[in-house]
Amino acid sequence: MLKRNLNLNLIPLEEALSKYFSKLKDYLKPGCEEVPIDECLDRITFSPVYAKINSPHYNAAAMDGIAVVSAATIDACESNPIELKIDTNFINVNTGDPVRSPYDAVIMAEDLIEHNENTVKIVKSASPMQHVRPIGENIKIGEVILSEKHKIRPIDINVLLSGGITSVKVFTKPKVAILPTGNEIIEISALQEGEEPKEGIIIDSNSRMYEAQVKHAGAIGKCFAPVPDDYDILKDTILKAVNDFDMVLINAGSSAGTEDFTVQVLREIGEVIVHGVAIKPGKPVILAIVNGKPVIGTPGYPVSAYLSFVTFVTPILSVLTGDKEKAVQNIEAVLSEKITSSVNLRECIRVKLEDVNGKLTAFPLARNSSVAMSLVKADGFCIIERGCEKKEKGETVTIELIN
């Protein structure tokens, strides 16, 4: 009898996630590092950031014009212009210039008449601190500029600098090892431009996709060379990866093939929490922990590989990066045709959205998880929950938008 781990007992998605995360939570420890201000864009603050200086740090002219002693201007009006002498009762100021005692107000250039080198006439009184930016108007020393777990935006960099901040404590980017497996897998670099691989040989198209998904999640992915179907080599490679990285993804070799060593290896060197989830695509996923690190085995078909990342890897990276998961945007649409699905599985169906005489209509695309192009063309997903076996043509369904 050939050795096959045929019958996965599939557990519901919610159960799989809660089982895995309740085990993981003691192990997921986000790291912290200090980065210079000019490298902090899009990083996540690890703790609140407090201003080190006031902004402005002196009373500053808010307008171009003249600085005056407000008390000396009270009588000024159209019928009673007051003449001021330079350096005696006024000085010229540009925006940003200090307004020092005895001066306590600024009159805009536009409001001045007969403005000469040494004298100027005003026809309106100035109130104290008029057009003067008081110390700390923008930021007060000690004030919280950014809260923790805040993704730093361009405008945040502006206030950080004005608050005298030169470096920021942020979450360390977790490192993710990406291990393609299988004797049949080669890297595209092994081919000439446009060269077709031999029959039975497959270009590794998932590792680079994973590297990109990891990057979008705010982490750093490292693609390994394809690991052959050899128990000991696979074991050694995973053990090394677990040592050097915060998380390990093992792609392909997670289902029932005669050469699928992944789950056996993981059982030997760690704990397999879940093997097989009642979702389609993505059934044969493996959720394991080795030396306290999350190790996830994902199926080889591109669509399964993509979706199992979104479903199982993204939430883990969200904990490690401190970044919130992007909220899924939903939209209502009517189905162009009837869809049937297994009552035992939660199925994620790719759909294209089109306006059909005023009605947003969802057209199901290829459901075959080997057809990655259908995911490229898709506008969203129609989820058919476990326990539901069909959606009727014309039925209004909720579509999870992609992008």
Contact 346, 282 (CB under 8 A): no
- By CB under 8 A, which span of 170-178, 181-189, 237-245, 332-340 interacts with a copy of itself? 181-189
Contact between 353 and a copy of itself by CB under 8 A: the answer reads no
- By CB under 8 A, which span of 270-278, 339-347, 364-372, 384-392 interacts with a copy of itself? 364-372
Measured at the CA of 300, the angle between CA 295 and CA 305, to 5 degrees, comes to: 65
Residue among 228 and 257 whose Cβ is closer to a copy of itself: 257
Instruction: State the Cα–Cα distance between residues 119 and 270, nearest whole angstrom.
Output: 85
Structure tokens given for 296:
């996830």
Contact between 330 and a copy of itself by CB under 8 A: the answer reads no
Distance of closest approach, residue 98 Cβ to a copy of itself, in angstroms: 4
Structure tokens given for 361:
């209509």
Site string for a copy of itself, 71-110 (x = CB under 8 A): ---------------------x-xxxxx-x--------xx
Sequence-distant (6+) residues with CB within 8 A of 303 are 281, 350, 368, 369, 370, 371, 372, 374, 375
Phi-psi region for residue 28, left (φ > 0), alpha (ψ -120 to 50) or beta?
A: beta
- The DSSP secondary-structure symbol of 198 reads P
Secondary structure element (H or E) that encloses residue 61, with its range: strand 60-61
Distance of closest approach, residue 92 Cβ to a copy of itself, in angstroms: 7
Distance of closest approach, residue 134 Cβ to a copy of itself, in angstroms: 11
Contact between 358 and a copy of itself by CB under 8 A: the answer reads no
Distance of CA 164 to the CA centre of its chain: 27
Site string for a copy of itself, 118-137 (x = CB under 8 A): ---------------x---x
Instruction: State the Cα–Cα distance between residues 274 and 254, nearest whole angstrom.
Output: 12
Range 267-296, binding a copy of itself (CB under 8 A): none
Helices (H), 217-322: 231-244, 262-269, 302-308, 314-321
Which of residues 86, 91, 159, 388 is near a copy of itself by CB under 8 A? Answer: 159
Contact between 58 and a copy of itself by CB under 8 A: the answer reads yes
Contact between 155 and a copy of itself by CB under 8 A: the answer reads yes
Distance of closest approach, residue 254 Cβ to a copy of itself, in angstroms: 11
Counted residue by residue, the chain has a size of 403
Contact between 191 and a copy of itself by CB under 8 A: the answer reads yes
Which of residues 32, 74, 212, 401 is near a copy of itself by CB under 8 A? Answer: 212
- The DSSP secondary-structure symbol of 291 reads T
Distance of closest approach, residue 189 Cβ to a copy of itself, in angstroms: 8
- By CB under 8 A, which span of 19-27, 68-76, 115-123, 380-388 interacts with a copy of itself? 115-123
Contact between 161 and a copy of itself by CB under 8 A: the answer reads yes
Residue among 96 and 128 whose Cβ is closer to a copy of itself: 96
Q: How far is CA 175 from CA 36, 151, 265, 344, 358, in A?
A: 20, 19, 22, 35, 47
Instruction: State the Cα–Cα distance between residues 44 and 30, nearest whole angstrom.
Output: 11
Contact between 57 and a copy of itself by CB under 8 A: the answer reads yes
Contact between 54 and a copy of itself by CB under 8 A: the answer reads yes
Structure tokens given for 311:
């479903």
Range 299-328, binding a copy of itself (CB under 8 A): 300, 302, 305-306
Q: How far is CA 158 from CA 8, 102, 162, in A?
A: 54, 32, 6
Distance of closest approach, residue 291 Cβ to a copy of itself, in angstroms: 28
Contact between 259 and a copy of itself by CB under 8 A: the answer reads yes
Contact between 206 and a copy of itself by CB under 8 A: the answer reads yes
Contact between 264 and a copy of itself by CB under 8 A: the answer reads no
Contact 388, 346 (CB under 8 A): no
Contact between 2 and a copy of itself by CB under 8 A: the answer reads yes
Which of residues 14, 33, 38, 244 is near a copy of itself by CB under 8 A? Answer: 38
Which of residues 26, 75, 78, 193 is near a copy of itself by CB under 8 A? Answer: 193
Question: Which is nearest to 90 in space by CA: 110, 80, 105, 75?
Answer: 105
Contact between 164 and a copy of itself by CB under 8 A: the answer reads yes
